[in-house]
Copies of this chain bind each other. A is one copy, B any other.
Amino acid sequence: MTRKPKGQDRTLGRGDWIAAALQTLIEEGVDSVKVVRLADRLSVTRGSFYWHFKSRDELLATLLEAWEAKNTQAILGRAEHPHRDLTSAVLDIFALWVDRALFDPGLDFAIREWARRSTTVHDAVRRADDRRVKAIAGIYRRAGMTAIDAFIRARILYFMQIGYYALDLRETIEERMRYLTPYLRGFNGEEPDESQVASFRRRYLKQAAQ
């Protein structure tokens, strides 16, 4: 067994196990995050795992922390950033839903599914959802709505998107870009500025083409 500390087949670290576990979590759910399978995937035996981790539970706790630290920030950052009008603010949130580099729905949903069977995870998800909805409500508040209307509109926007992921429709970018205007009309209760919609559409269709 040759050791190459910085080569291709260098030795494994906690990070490698976590990365493999995150992918399995997203693709197959928590129940499929098994130590044996990860070992197979990484082409080592379980002996390695139990050197890096105390137990499977410790790995799972780490996965939750990784999600908590990362996935909510994208939403908060965009929602709290000041915008010149309501349309551009909501389009900025839409960008999260179509750009996987900004927000990973697979991870978010895998955690959410896990949350249904673990109170610890459930509580963590609830805190995250609260923060996200509050941040989006700020957009409608700044557009001049009452606190309650802003809160409800934020819920509709956010819940609808979570529902979209729950449905697991697997539409193409083109399909998703088709109905931007009626969505904005539905969410905001006002007619959107078509030039902003068009430029948003162009931008993400081009990005997807790359």
Which A residues form the contact surface with B (CB < 8 A)?
28-29, 31, 109, 112-113, 115-117, 122, 125-126, 129, 148-149, 151-153, 155-156, 158-169, 179, 182-183, 185-187, 189
Complex: A166 Cα to B158 Cα, angstroms: 11
Interface centre among A116, A151, A158 (most CB of B within 10 A): A116
User: Which residues of B lie under 8 Å from residue A152 when comparing CB positions?
Assistant: 179, 182-183, 185-186
Complex: A179 Cα to B168 Cα, angstroms: 28
Check A159/B163 contact, CB under 8 A, given A116-B168, A117-B29, A148-B179. yes
Rounded to whole Å, the gap between the CB of A189 and the closest CB of chain B is 6
Is the beta-carbon distance between B29 and A156 smaller than 8 angstroms?
A: no
User: Which residues of B lie under 8 Å from residue A117 when comparing CB positions?
Assistant: 28-29
Residue of B nearest to A180 (CB): B152
Check A156/B116 contact, CB under 8 A, given A122-B168, A163-B162. no
